[in-house]
Amino acid sequence: MHPHTPAVAVPATPRATALLTDWLIRDLTPLVLIHAGLPDPQRLSRLAPVTGAHIARPGKLRRHVRALEQVLVQIEVHLRAGLHRRPPTPLTTGSAPAVPGEVLEVTGLLAGAVAELGSPAAALANRTVLTAAGVIAAGAGTAEAFDSWSTTAWSYCTVVSQVWQDEPQARLLVDPR
């Protein structure tokens, strides 16, 4: 198995990190929450956009962290309540993924990068995405796994093209395979 080569190499500038973090928190996470039928995706969409200033001073992401923590608590309550109504469908290796592996790889890397800067915001968003993706893959969401996969892939392609336009140091990588 070969590791995936990203389509675009993004420099770790505050601007590029902010753009990707904003996408993760205010676009991808609410999108997957909607597909999973989980509570309060609008709370994340209404947050202030993540800027380079947020990345330079991770304390400025406090509101984002608080909102993500509240959403995670609501998700936990929602999922626990749902367990009493119907038994969970077990995930198997044959379960269709709700989010492309490449997108999950990017969100994981971003979560680590932002955590190293001093904020758990991207890690909390990543945890939320993984939880919601599991709900969708188990067939308990409001959207089919393929529909969620397609929509999240489109969202990722949109943010990659935006980074490509906004970040002059971004460069295209080609997989030699």
Instruction: With respect to residue 96, please indicate whether it lies within any of the assigned structural domains.
Output: yes
Instruction: With respect to residue 23, please indicate whether it lies within any of the assigned structural domains.
Output: yes
6 pLDDT exceeds 80?
no
Instruction: With respect to residue 9, please indicate whether it lies within any of the assigned structural domains.
Output: no
Rounded average pLDDT over 118-124? 97
What is the reported pTM?
0.87
pLDDT digits over 12-59, tens only?
Answer: 788 889 999 999 999 999 999 999 999 989 999 999 999 999 999 989
Instruction: With respect to residue 175, please indicate whether it lies within any of the assigned structural domains.
Output: no
How many domains, the chain?
A: 1
Rounded average pLDDT over 152-168? 88
Instruction: With respect to residue 74, please indicate whether it lies within any of the assigned structural domains.
Output: yes
83 pLDDT exceeds 60?
no
Rounded average pLDDT over 78-104? 73
Instruction: With respect to residue 7, please indicate whether it lies within any of the assigned structural domains.
Output: no
165 pLDDT exceeds 90?
no
Task: Quote the domain boundaries for residue 72.
Answer: 14-168
**Which DSSP string do the residues of the chain spell out, in sequence order?**
-PPPPPSEE----HHHHHHHHHHIIIIIHHHHHHHHT-S-HHHHHTSPPP-HHHHHSGGGGHHHHHHHHHHHHHHHHHHHHHHHHSPPPPP-TTSPPSS-HHHHHHHHHHHHHHHHHT--HHHHHHHHHHHHHHHHHTT-SSS-HHHHHHHHHHHHHHHHHHHHHH-TT-EE-----
- Please report the pLDDT score of residue 2 as a whole number: 41
Instruction: With respect to residue 6, please indicate whether it lies within any of the assigned structural domains.
Output: no
Instruction: With respect to residue 87, please indicate whether it lies within any of the assigned structural domains.
Output: yes
